[in-house]
Amino acid sequence: MVPLAPKIKLSNGMEIPTIGLGTWRSHESDAERSVKDAIDIGYRHIDTAFVYENEKEVGRAINAKIGEGIINRKDIFVVTKLGGIHHNPQLVEHACRKSLSNLGLNYIDLYLMHFPVGQIHKGDDNVHGTLELSDVDYLDTWRAMEKLVDLGLVSGIGLSNFNEQQTDRILQVCRIRPLVNQVECHPGFNQKKLITFSKERDIIITAYCPLARPKPDQQWPPFLYDATVKDLSKKYGKTPAQICLRYLVQLGTIPIPKSVSKNRIAENFAIFDFELSDEDMKIIDSYNTGQRLIPFSGMSQHKYFPFNSVA
């Protein structure tokens, strides 16, 4: 029996493991293999999205492990996301059913609205859209997502890349509350203000890009490579990446590091046998620059763009 990660209870009573495997930019055989490896290691939270174009591979891996008797369906927490091209309320159920078909599953644990800005739908094969942005109100998209819960297609729904004002706008009208908000979050952009805001509203922050896309040849970011974090690494007998992920867990987030290396996937998981002191948490706080790595700048002029305006 492999060790499993602790779980956090969501506002609807569901429990979500406190670390997940991210699969952005994991394609074809890499995606399938990495998900199988993650499940063997003990991951029970897998994150994908329609726009990642790997739902089929992720689903094959999950179903293979179910077939082997390693897990039951109820043991695995599967997250996928509604793409921008499907924001029209008339397309939401269609999009969800397409993701279910891709995954080979009969329900999704958590279905997120990937971004508050929608795109013009020109067919499902045009996965990433053309940055021809639609004026669909994300409130209308959310109402259509609520119906997915009623239909039993998804167990819960949530947000991704939403700011505080947009989250409150959802909360003012929703019938079913968002369970999580998945956002960029790492020591260089620690989102502490959003984490506090979300906790007050019983919303969990999922941290994507939790290691900030390391560049070993450039020894970047500093919170993985400089002398201070190397000292912490020696102190705790953990790698800088493990220190970073543990920091995010102690902030109250759920990190979803992406890797296709079995050794790295295992390394990222081994963060529940130590705890950072308050002093060392403050040291890692000092790496926060407030600088976003993923600006989504192609959408920055839209009225619902979340990162430079109140919408």
Given 52, 111, 287, 304, the catalytic residue: 52
27 among annotated binding-site residues: no
The C-alpha atoms of residue 172 and residue 9 are separated, in whole angstroms, by: 23
CB atoms closer than 10 angstroms to residue 13: 8
Verify whether residue 52 is a known catalytic residue.
yes
CB atoms closer than 10 angstroms to residue 260: 18
Q: Buried b vs exposed e over 18-46: b needs ≥16 C-beta within 10 Å?
A: bbbbbbeebeeebbbebbbbbbbbbbbbb
Cα distances from 101 to residues 78, 106, 221, in angstroms, run 14, 8, 38
Q: Binding site for substrate: which residues?
A: 114
Q: Binding site: which residues?
A: 114
Q: Which residues are catalytically annotated? A: 52
